[in-house]
Amino acid sequence: MPEQVRDVGVYIYGLAETLHNALDSAAKDVEDMLTDSWTGDYADEFSQGWTEVHAGGRQIFRALASLAEKLGVTAEMFQSVDANSAAALNIPRLDWT
């Protein structure tokens, strides 16, 4: 079970990284568009909305990365507690495979 929890953490981290890179790429495209060719009130309104979307996306990615890290720590703690308990009680450890 701990390996599966860790695997979920790795998957979530990878997903967050992929989405982060996609958002950064989109941000560059939007910035280029707003500085090179699009001006006026609608461009200003879009820019404000995009800034909020971009900030919100980055916040989500930080939360996903934090969740992934916690899943890995949780899995390691669970195995450690199991090993310590088994040693203290002189019983076999659980088989997590």
Per-residue pLDDT tens over the stretch 15-28: 888 999 999 999 99
Q: 40-64, pLDDT tens digit by residue?
A: 999 999 999 999 999 999 999 989 8
Give all strands (DSSP E) within 51-90, no chain letters.
none
**What domains lie within the chain, and their CATH numbers?**
2-82 (1.10.287.1060)
Three-state DSSP class for residue 78 = helix
Q: Which two tokens stand for residue 87?
A: 């040693």
Check pLDDT > 60 for residue 97: no
pLDDT tier for residue 75 given thresholds of 50, 70 and 90: low
Average pLDDT over residues 35-40: 92
Check pLDDT > 70 for residue 88: yes
* Predicted TM-score of the model (pTM): 0.66
Question: Which amino acid is it at 4?
Answer: Q
pLDDT score of 67: 86
